[in-house]
Amino acid sequence: MEIKVKCPAKVNLTLEILNKREDGFHNIQSVMQTIDLFDILTIKVEKSEKFEINLSGTSDEIPYDERNLVHKAVLLFMKSLDARGEGSIRQSKAISVHIEKNIPISAGLAGGSTDAAGVLWGLNKLFNNPFPKEELHALCAHLGSDLNFCLEGGCQLATSRGEILEKLPFYEFELSLIKPKNVGISAKEAYTKFTALENKPNLNMTKELVETLKSGEADVDDIDYSLHNDLELALIEDYEEFRAIKMEYPEAIMSGSGSTFFMLTHEFKDFDDTFWIKPNLKFIPYGVCEV
């Protein structure tokens, strides 16, 4: 059995940190949007004398072993499948996943999360949909904060630690991305630096953007006005590359925990080859799906 899955990147149109939770995560409010930049997964399920998970891919920047979130997603899916059947299904299966990596890593674009959501979705299809959508969402929430959004896609208000979603009206806008090639930010670094900020923002731009989107008449200027990321404020003083982007394009906004910035409708120009630039992208109204 084999399936190919498209796994879209996301940008955070807003990202606001509300407080730290007892479980170590943070409560957030964020408007997230999928875009037409995709990793492609090729998932194969074959009979085998023993259970195996074999990962491969086109990037030399990610591990192809148990450290990869895709590996964890495969293992969680098969264990969950076993738990609802008789015997151990996974003992007689070899699962292979090839990752065609187009989304930069440690970039705030949910590259790892979308791949993990994609493999859960793809395996569910290959095994004839044993898990309804709500149970797939439970598996996603077990693995990380962005997987639930990547499963659904489109434009969503994400709250709690990101796993609670409310679908918002979709608008088809264009955008461009820029990322310093030599800068990758972990969520841990970004949230730690935000916690250390003495003067934390409290702008509530997410509420404003949600109201704008729900009006049904939002144009790009309306959306631009509400774009905001709390974590950008926590990181920008530590990275001269970020300051260079903001100096040239003040309207650019960081996505997630960085290190990618985006702009609506405009293109990034006049940067040297130490920056990765991706112009002419679009918002899309869906999440992970079959190729």
Six-digit token string for 11: 């940008």
Q: Give the 3-state secondary structure of residue 51.
A: coil
- Is there a contact between 23 and 55 (Cβ–Cβ < 8 Å)? no
Tell me the per-residue pLDDT of 116-128, one tens digit each, with 9 for 90 and over.
Answer: 999 999 999 999 9
The catalytic site residues sit at: 10, 146
Q: What is the pTM of this model?
A: 0.96
Instruction: Delineate the domains of the chain, giving CATH numbers in brackets.
Output: 1-291 (3.30.230.10)
Res 256 pLDDT > 70: yes
- Going through the chain in order, the beta strands assigned E by DSSP cover 2-20, 26-47, 52-57, 93-100, 155-160, 164-167, 174-180, 228-229, 253-254, 261-264, 275-282, 289-290
Residue with tokens 């959508």: 133
DSSP character string of 273-284: TTEEEEEEEEB-
Question: Could you give the CA distance from residue 221 to residue 83 in angstroms, rounded to a whole number?
Answer: 50
- Is there a contact between 109 and 9 (Cβ–Cβ < 8 Å)? yes
Question: Could you give the CA distance from residue 92 to residue 138 in angstroms, rounded to a whole number?
Answer: 25
Tell me the per-residue pLDDT of 124-174, one tens digit each, with 9 for 90 and over.
Answer: 999 999 999 999 999 999 999 899 999 999 999 999 999 999 999 999 999
pLDDT cut 70: percent of the chain above it: 99
Task: Name the residue with higher pLDDT: 217 or 158.
Answer: 158
Question: Could you give the CA distance from residue 112 to residue 189 in angstroms, rounded to a whole number?
Answer: 17
- Is there a contact between 147 and 113 (Cβ–Cβ < 8 Å)? yes
Listed residue (256, 269, 283) closest to 112, CA to CA: 256
Question: Could you give the CA distance from residue 262 to residue 251 in angstroms, rounded to a whole number?
Answer: 9
